Amino acid sequence: MTTASTPELEADRQALIGLISDEAVFHGDFTLSSGKKATYYVDMRKLTLDHRAAPAIGRLVLDLVKDLDGVVAVGGLTLGADPIANAVMHESVHAGTPLDAFVVRKEPKDHGRGRQIEGADVAGKRVVVVEDTSTTGQSALKAVEALRREGAEVVAVAVIVDRKTGAQAAIEAEGLQWLASIDLDDLGLAPQ
């Protein structure tokens, strides 16, 4: 279990845990993006795109990355990372520690400039990949691979909800720091 760095941020975290538990945990039979089967699904997009949760998500992820030296931008694989990166960008400006955002497409565009990474210029920059939740870490690692091809120095992966199912080990095996704001213990759920 983690805690935020200030009482105010911990209050944000507890409020977000309540919203997730009440509105974003669905029970049933699900297939995750990793292909794994699950008896519950944590639908963070429901909250990353919700006005009640997005500001707190921005503040909490900003809190996770605040001590990483020289980080200038956050983002990740579209679609899950997009609202998180934008929330962090907006909250970072409000906090006086501006970070830019970027989007990593699943594949490079086949028209225009043919870019795979949109937004902030990442070449030669220290960046953090963000995700709503992760099971195996493969989506984050796909973003890491694309960012490294563009010359970015990826230093960490930050997730809102850690499913405790191997993503952390996969990320750390790539030499990256793993950061999570909420885990399954916080939500009263068991790993599966």
pLDDT in tens, 156-173: 999 999 999 899 999 999
Instruction: State the total domains in the chain.
Output: 1
* 155 domain residue, yes or no: yes
DSSP code string of the chain? ----SSHHHHHHHHHHHHHIIIIIEEEEEEE-TTS-EEEEEE-THHHHTSTTTHHHHHHHHHHHHTTSTTEEEEEEETTTTHHHHHHHHHHHHHHT---EEEEE-SS--SSTT--SEEES--TT-EEEEEEEEESSSHHHHHHHHHHHHTT-EEEEEEEEEE--SSHHHHHHHTT-EEEEEEEHHHHT----
Q: Please check the confidence at residue 179 and state whether its pLDDT lies above 90.
A: yes
Domain-located, residue 31: yes
- Any domain includes 101: yes
CB atoms within 10 A of CB 56: 23
pLDDT at 147: 98
What residue numbers does the annotated binding site for orotate cover?
135, 163
Confidence band (pLDDT; 50, 70, 90) for 33?
A: confident
**Residue positions forming the annotated binding site for 5-phospho-alpha-D-ribose 1-diphosphate:** 105-106, 109, 111, 131-139
* Residue 59, in any domain of the structure: yes
Domain with 89 in it: 7-187
Q: Taking the model in full, what pTM does it have?
A: 0.94
pLDDT category of residue 87 using cuts at 50, 70 and 90? very high
Within a domain: 140:
yes
User: Predicted confidence band at 2 (pLDDT cuts at 50, 70, 90)?
Assistant: confident
* Contact status, residue 90 vs residue 99, Cβ threshold 8 Å: no
Domain assignment of residue 120, yes or no: yes
The domain that contains 16 carries what CATH number?
Answer: 3.40.50.2020
Residue 192 lies in a domain: no
Residue 2: inside a domain, yes or no? no
> Does the structure show a pLDDT above 90 at 113?
no
Binding-site residue set: 105-106, 109, 111, 131-139, 163
